[in-house]
Amino acid sequence: MEKPNLNYIQKVAAGDKDFEKSMISVLKKEFPVEVETYKKALSKKNLKETAEIVHKIKHKISILGLIKSYESAELFENNLKNNTTDTHKVFEDILENMYQFINKL
Amino acid sequence: MKCIIIDDEATARAIIEKLCVSVPSLEVSGVFSSAIDAIKYLNETTVDLILLDIHMPGFSGFDFIKTLKNPPAIIVTTSDKKFALEAFEYDFIIDYLVKPIEPQRFEKAIRKVEASAPVSTKVQGEKEVASFENDLYVNIDRRLIKIDIPKIYLIEAKGDYINVKTESKNYVVHSTLKKMEQKLPDSLFIKVHRSYIINLKKIIDIEDNSVLIEKDVVPVSRTSRPELMRRLNLL
């Protein structure tokens, strides 16, 4: 599994450590809420809502430099739009990988 | 240049705000998590630029754009490349940034906005009508010819030229539709297509996707139609 990184955030921060800290704090706050929303939407089999939250999470995947995971998330989003939950396990592994990384920040 | 940010994702808002702060000419006057909140703000405040997330649940960026009476410059921000074609149907969408937005790419987009229109004109929201409100002077064969603005019924883009039509005469002028639009009063004129501006007072009738104005039938683009209908005194 790819290893997340903070390269993009550091590039945007351009040395501004306060910004880096505030970005990490936003990620820590927003990401678990999105994961929860994803789980609820999927359990309700509301695939439209699930696709929307996957779309939103995709941005965070790219921010953390997860190139292959982003492609997998995109595939999963398209699957949901085509009314199938195929590859949801792959997506959930990505979420877990991100969760572990963000939690240690 | 005064701008606002609209994005339903907090992480994206924080990044875009940081990118804005890095550009000295930009002043972030508002950050909104929903387009509805931004509409309320824009009813009271004029801005030069909107950084707009297109993909928002419920009320999308495109829905938001359709509500704008006098849209400022817009830079679309999104994770979807597929909306790019639709975005560029709107003249005021200056650029399309795919997330995650690279700082250099962001700066390039801002430079495009700055090059697209002088800030002072847009902030004031005023049209640069020459010395007399109803007169427009155009340069034809090294002569400045006066046109009475209310008598113009149609301006048509023709490559590097525009054809300004009045009841009595047509004027072919070396200029652009965008420059012409800045000289005309909003109360009287509306752009109904990327190649046509019409005088609302001169409309004879409207059919599905066209307007009959004097003797000309002018196409109305899908994106301009809602604004045209809004401006009419409909029974």
Which of B5, B8, B15, B17 is the best mutation test for A, with the most CBs of A within 10 A? B15
Q: Distance from A89 to chain B by nearest Cα, in Å?
A: 22
Contacts of B12 in chain A (CB under 8 A): 59
As given in the structure block, the two tokens for residue B113 are 């906005």
| Whether A72 contacts A90, CB under 8 Å | yes
Instruction: Report CA Rg, chain B.
Output: 19
**Residue B158 CB coordination number (10 Å):** 11
Note the pLDDT of residue B187.
Answer: 81
Instruction: Give per-residue pLDDT as tens, B74-94.
Output: 999 988 777 766 767 788 899
Number of domains in chain A: 1
Confidence of residue B125 (pLDDT cuts 50, 70, 90): very low
B11/A62 Cβ within 8 A:
no
Note the pLDDT of residue A31.
Answer: 97
More confident residue, B209 or B124: B209
Alpha carbon distance B205, B228 (integer Å): 12
| Whether A26 contacts B16, CB under 8 Å | no
As given in the structure block, the two tokens for residue B103 are 């700082």
- Classify residue A53: in a domain, yes or no: yes
Considering only A19-23, A53-57, B57-61, B178-182, which range has the smallest mean pLDDT?
B57-61
Residue B32 to residues A35, B10, B52, B132, B196: CA-CA distances in angstroms? 22, 9, 10, 40, 34
Note the pLDDT of residue B123.
Answer: 42
Q: Mean pLDDT over residues B104-120, rounded?
A: 82
Q: Which residue of B has its CA nearest to A65?
A: B100
Count the residues in chain A.
105
- Of all residues in chain B, the percent with pLDDT exceeding 90 is 46
Domain that holds residue A92: 7-104
Which of A18, A29, A56, A69 is the best mutation test for B, with the most CBs of B within 10 A? A56
More confident residue, B59 or A52: A52
- Of all residues in chain A, the percent with pLDDT exceeding 70 is 100
- Classify residue A1: in a domain, yes or no: no
- Classify residue A13: in a domain, yes or no: yes
Q: Of A76-85, B51-60, B117-126, B174-183, which one has max mean pLDDT? A: A76-85
Give the N- to C-terminal CA distance of chain B in Å, as an integer.
40
As given in the structure block, the two tokens for residue A36 are 């929860």
- Beta strand pairing call for B196-199 and B152-158: antiparallel
Note the pLDDT of residue B120.
Answer: 42
- Classify residue A2: in a domain, yes or no: no
B9 three-class SS: coil
Quote the DSSP letter at residue B63.
Answer: H
Confidence of residue B61 (pLDDT cuts 50, 70, 90): confident
Note the pLDDT of residue A28.
Answer: 96
Q: Distance from B70 to chain A by nearest Cα, in Å?
A: 30
Residue A39 has pLDDT above 50, yes or no: yes
- Of all residues in chain B, the percent with pLDDT exceeding 70 is 90
Strand partners, B235: none
As given in the structure block, the two tokens for residue B121 are 């004109």
Q: Mean pLDDT over residues B54-58, rounded?
A: 81
Instruction: Give per-residue pLDDT as tens, B158-203.
Output: 988 999 999 888 999 998 998 898 888 888 899 999 999 999 989 9
B15/A56 Cβ within 8 A:
no
| Whether B147 contacts B166, CB under 8 Å | yes
Residue B137 has pLDDT above 90, yes or no: no
Average pLDDT, chain B: 86
Residue B121 has pLDDT above 90, yes or no: no
Average pLDDT, chain A: 96
Alpha carbon distance B195, B173 (integer Å): 14
The set of long-range contacts for B199-205, using a CB threshold of 8 Å and a minimum separation of 24, is B199/B150, B199/B152, B199/B153, B199/B154, B200/B231, B200/B232, B201/B150, B202/B153, B202/B154, B203/B232
Sequence-distant (≥ 6) Cβ neighbours of residue A73 within 8 angstroms: A54, A57, A58, A61, A91, A94
Note the pLDDT of residue B85.
Answer: 67
Structural domains of chain B sorted by starting position, each given as residue range(s) with its CATH number in brackets: 2-124 (3.40.50.2300), 135-231 (2.40.50.1020)
